[in-house]
Structure 1
């Protein structure tokens, strides 16, 4: 986004300087006056002393300046309000002959400035024979976009009911802690707290009573924790808590965490006042430590999803035992190390690719025309049959096995595209690129050679990335993206809205497309908070000129909701399930 704004500012700067030059040469003053006053951005002209000498209609209207006398009272280098608000500091370099640009800044330069306005600002000097003649300030009001982004950011990382961090925020926090633990020997505990029989309570008392119970439960748990502890809401009736551990022995830490978990469980035993009645509830708690000892001992990395899965397994053990109790995760309760090792070994075998199958899920326009597809993989296992990616991709992501799989998928996508590129000019295939694969030193040369081998223009395949690409070496990742974009490659950001850093990176990324995560799409027609989040994401994408794909569209109601909010493509079971690539490609030939 910053690149687009810089280009816009550069174009406007050149335009203004050209107009001023024409004015000096005697060009039509009427035309210049019209251009000056009809410009959609605010323009302020200052003399070398900082005194305002002129302003266009956009500036005057925004500040409610009705007379030249009011404008003449403005001196940006002397006025106290300009100095205190920082406006003087922003434009002062222009008085020393420099062009200055600032984005998303707030300031006061007149007494009638709108409160809390946010601007993109450019100030540049106008020189003649080496002497400063005037300073031109260009100002774009971006308050609406800024507030939409701010709202979308908050909705993407906090639960709207309790105000607590949401599941993705929790996963990001665990990722941060795991990164810290790679440098320092430390461990944390992850607790999942589940309200027993919440569905029965919610059905019997109603959704409002259920929401009230969840809000009160969240407050009690938060008040029972330390400042350094973390709590979030991860599901309708579930909270997650991170407890940093001190450098004691595993046995002592285990006793401390069990004591803390029991204290939290007791906190929830006191009846809740719901609709004027005291409602007794119980809670079950699953506990795990991370990073997991078995993972670090074998040289593997623990992951946020794996830690959450372990805590969930422990929670189910507590509930299966009758609830109202705490349970630790123990190796063997979920997929044990032997099973994980077996999957890794089988994926490492030379002939493992023989069992891989390419599936495509269609991406369609609102009228049902298939205009693209996303690549998905299946594994035809010789013993266990057809495996969905969830049974082996998470394991592959912990090693370079994901690179091997990623290369296979991208090769197959190129082959598929060569079969239809001459008859389906606007059809595009999307391929997920893992962070580990993208950050490989030779990735750029490899993908260029691959597309050259198949005589494909880079734009025919959309490269889908996720925020995981930017958890480390952010600048390197963005530089590699820009290099590939310069060669014609196109990028999409997948699962947008599930991570708190999405908006922070979105402005910097050379993207063509944004995909709205299915978790927001599914409840958008019925849940006002999800609807507001989807609308905010759509607004951000439209403001940035990005194409939009909505994932997980499974009902006509969801499709109608999205269609009423803007132009986009749809992906989901309502429009088409994933099918073998050959089947979808053959069907394209019969598509009207």
Structure 2
């Protein structure tokens, strides 16, 4: 309870002890020598009084050399001892003795603490009790001295308590001031180091404070502008100043964007916030103004908006800007209900080859030269945009009153552009003339497609892209217009792609075989074919879904499935016993896969088939790229026993050149040579030459597309060991049906035309 009422009395500081020791030592010295002078020389009392001087000197020396609190203890003990001896020899309660004892009690409390003062007071009372017991004084005097000592202790305690409370309060105030000073220092440094201009203005519009950022941004010296007027709220008009006054009067913050001019005349855009500052009573006293230079930020935003709509290489509008322009044209009310526009897409053929051969920097320079030439060829009303790496869009506005007229005009413009863009001078490093060809596709709009309520920019671009895709598939350098038939074809390809994914997952693919017969009409080998049995649409034509599979990459999983089924067919006991050979076509995409050899080797080991009965049919397209790598793979598979056949032999350009290098065992004559084959036909000479080449290399020959008996007889007359494959002998039939025939090599195994 006392600790809550009175604070704990801390020991007096060293400064108090120093002051008390100096004062009391001098006083004790003077008092002792004065008493010695009055008592006369000689005697014990005279010597005891003279001892006050050395005692005082020793106390001062101890305080000066060591510690003043230690000096106070020495002075207290020595002085108390001298006074006690004097009191024991003479009258205890003389005036001088009581005065000295009182001073010593106060001195002990002030220099060392209340506990030391209580010990001194207790020693005095004990001294008085001893004297009264010896009969040297009266007990009443001892009681009076005890009351005096108690009063002095209480008075000393109150003094020390008040002093300690003041010291604690002072220390608390100093700590608070230190914290406030530190906080103010941090705030000041934060404001000074802020990148934004900070101003403080009084109600008379005089500048009270400006930070370093304002000095740097404005070019004005703070020492010269503090105290001046009309420096704040620069760039604000009269109406904005009234808005500021209304906002700060309501205690709100005003915020806005203003344009101002710096000291050097540069125009800047700043974001300004003006907030009221109130005094402790809540009255408005100052205004705080914060300015942030947002000129660079606005420029960056403008640049970003520019890049969102402009191509960085050619500085043409990009795809997004093109779609916005198309939508705007479609939303505008045309001058004539029959007025038509056209969107023309131009794409540089085989542009990726330029990038691969010369690099992106040279290709960018070529694109810039291409755009410059294209802009010179276009009519002034045409709008040009870049939609992809090598694709450009041209909007031809008001090109015809009818769709047919607009189509004819657009076709003429596209052909004129193709002719003018055939030769481009690239100015990168050394000027170089580059021969180009472009594919073009266009669509006339507005045109509301079936199932839609209105035309839109993305629909127009999609239709033109369909036309461009058709022009590319025609070999490049072509112009094609959009038609509903093209849209149906594109939609059909999308449906086939989606359906192929499902077919691979749900097992809709089936393995068919088509027999290959010798001159005796016996089945010697079969070709494995893939067929797609759609659960709703029935059998899908391979000419439809196989090109889609090759374009989308689905030919790889589909080819893996066909190889798996072919090896299972080869592992059938009847096929093994008959020694039949099975050939299967492998696409170039599948064969070029890095793990093709390893996968086929694992498949052969897993199924346990005789690899020498497996023939892989490859086309000349396999040899157009990475020839050495393809030959290395063929050699690796030949080591396993696998045979190779060159499919569509004679239709390409490099077959004869590579024939001597390829590890093949069979060639297949394309059906284009067999279709009109007669002894007098032009193709007969070529077929005979191909058969002679095969005979010279000891290669098996298979003729595809044999549909008439005369064709088979002529081929067998030229080459008795030739194998014939075609509708004359059998259509492709399910592999399971062929395996169910009583004799796999006999007539029962054939499904005739």
TM tier, smaller: 0.3 to 0.5
**Relative to total residues, which structure has the larger helix share, 1 or 2?**
2
Larger radius of gyration: 2
Higher RCO (C-alpha under 8 Å, 6+ residues apart): 1
